[in-house]
Structure 1
Amino acid sequence: MKTYSVQLQAQEQLAEGTLAFHFTKPAGFEFIAGQALDLIIGEQGDADSEWDVRHTFSIVAAPHENELVIATRMRDSPFKQQLKSFPVGAQLQIEGPYGELTLGEDLTRAVVFIAGGIGITPFMSMLRDAAHQQRQQDILLLYSNRRPEDSAFLSELQQLSQHNPRFKLIATMTSMQDSGQEWSGETGYLDAQRIQQYCQGLNQPIYYISGPPMLVEAMHDLLDEAGVDEDDVLSEGFLGY
């Protein structure tokens, strides 16, 4: 896998406890919406484990954009604390791209994205790319968060749904009792019945799941309960993100 040098351009707060990091896009780095990269911030010999110097992130930016963007929940891990400490202009390395959580070529079949929390990141790239390409495919996003305050990219997603008639957003909040914001959308957890209801009328949907491993596993079970063929489900789990 080829290694590229990138420069940190900006940090951006997306939600409570969630930051985006913007990097220059190196010449020759081409990717498909939904793919990922490894961000490298040091040498293996300088750290207790590889996790302290290297992490895998989905690329939030779309392929046509002139920068690379990743987003992550900020934890107290050595990697994330060091990443947060880098000043604008710092030089880092990436490897990639790789990953198969990408859109297929059959536009007649609908796409259903199911995301929990920071699992939204690969779908942001795909949705931005779909809007840019004016992709003629029905796309439904089921996006679950605890509170609006925790929901990265929520405003952008709402705007995308307003401007793209082929894209529908259903965001649900599971802990509104802990929120200081108003919310008029869906609440509660996704279940098989709700998923069936939301997907009613879609043509032969293909399901994409992204989020913490426990959510991915739970969504696989719910889709099975809802009668979805496992061959129509693609997933990606975000360990420790």
Structure 2
Amino acid sequence: MEEHFVKIISIEPVTHDVLSIKVEKPNGYSFVPGQATEISINKDKFKEERRPFTFTSLNDSKYLEFTIKTYTDHNGVTNELRKLKAGDELILHDVWGAISYKGEGVFIAGGAGITPFIAIFRQLYKDGKVGNNKLFFSNKTSEDIILKDSFEKMLGENFVNTLTQEKTNDFANEKIDKKFLEKHIHNFSQNFYICGPDAMVQDIQNTLKELGASENVITVEV
């Protein structure tokens, strides 16, 4: 098991409960957009408390970035991350992950499940290959939308938000279910990428299959 001790370069808020954490990049460390690693905090109590987080920087960046949703209702790893500052150390481990770009299609994310798609779309945008990819993003409220301005810039009208606990004229107010998918998608042979809470991913995966999508066009984390 690889271990890399890296110093934090910066910690910045993204939303009310999401942080952007930039750290040093070890020599020779590389990943494919969509992949993740396990991270622990280099403090006695937390060294063995590893949690999976997705890379949200580009692979050719001089630093690594993680976009992390934090939970303050218990004294866990993400709550501890909120207390850290530049110069503190994290421990990175092996690179892993099943989500990677396989061609144009539809991306479906729930909450912090957006994170594997951040690096994918940043890379596509940099390469001028965003094409007709679409992103459907479900959140509880508008305050929860991660990197809203960035996704609007990269995707324009192909960035579609829906909120489940807030009604607003700006976004849809519905769950991503069979009715939603039938309304917004007309080609079920294209690529589908799904990431979010386990129950949501399973439900959408099953619904896509009901609507004609085959197993080999659906990408999820395993």
Q: When the two structures are superposed, what TM-score results if normalisation uses the length of structure 2?
A: 0.89
* Aligned-residue offset at 1:197: 3.0
* Aligned-residue offset at 1:214: 1.6
**Residues 34 and 89 of structure 1: CA distance in aligned 2, closer, same or farther (over 3 Å):** same
> Which residue number corresponds to residue 172 of structure 1?
162
> Which residue number corresponds to residue 64 of structure 2?
68
**Residues 139 and 231 of structure 1: CA distance in aligned 2, closer, same or farther (over 3 Å):** same
Letter in 2 for 1:74: T
> Which residue number corresponds to residue 108 of structure 2?
114
1:221 aligns with 2:206: yes
What are the Cα deviations for residues 185-206 of structure 1, in whole angstroms up to 9, with x where unaligned? 2221112232133222x58311
**Residues 218 and 203 of structure 1: CA distance in aligned 2, closer, same or farther (over 3 Å):** closer
- Which of 78, 81, 95 in structure 2 is aligned with 1:80? 78
CA distance in 2, matches of 1:190, 1:18: 23
**Residues 236 and 230 of structure 1: CA distance in aligned 2, closer, same or farther (over 3 Å):** same
Percent identity, aligned pairs only? 23
> Which residue number corresponds to residue 23 of structure 2?
23
Unaligned runs of 5+ in 1: none
Q: Could you tell me whether the CA contact under 8 Å between 1:148 and 1:183 is conserved in 2? A: no
Q: When the two structures are superposed, what TM-score results if normalisation uses the length of structure 1?
A: 0.82
* Aligned-residue offset at 1:79: 1.5
CA distance in 1, matches of 2:10, 2:130: 33
> Which residue number corresponds to residue 142 of structure 2?
148
CA distance in 2, matches of 1:146, 1:184: 14
What secondary structure, in the 3-state scheme, does the structure 2 residue paired with 1:82 have? helix
CA distance in 1, matches of 2:14, 2:99: 23
**Residues 225 and 77 of structure 1: CA distance in aligned 2, closer, same or farther (over 3 Å):** farther
**Residues 146 and 136 of structure 1: CA distance in aligned 2, closer, same or farther (over 3 Å):** closer
Q: Could you tell me whether the CA contact under 8 Å between 1:37 and 1:56 is conserved in 2? A: yes
Number of aligned positions between the proteins: 220
Letter in 1 for 2:114: I
What are the Cα deviations for residues 102-138 of structure 1, in whole angstroms up to 9, with x where unaligned? 012xx4xx32111000000000010001111222643
* Aligned-residue offset at 1:220: 1.5
Q: RMSD across aligned C-alpha pairs, in angstroms?
A: 2.3
Unaligned runs of 5+ in 2: none
What secondary structure, in the 3-state scheme, does the structure 2 residue paired with 1:196 have? helix
What secondary structure, in the 3-state scheme, does the structure 2 residue paired with 1:176 have? coil
- Which of 45, 48, 54 in structure 1 is aligned with 2:50? 54
Q: Could you tell me whether the CA contact under 8 Å between 1:216 and 1:236 is conserved in 2? A: no
Q: Could you tell me whether the CA contact under 8 Å between 1:210 and 1:236 is conserved in 2? A: yes
> Which residue number corresponds to residue 197 of structure 1?
183
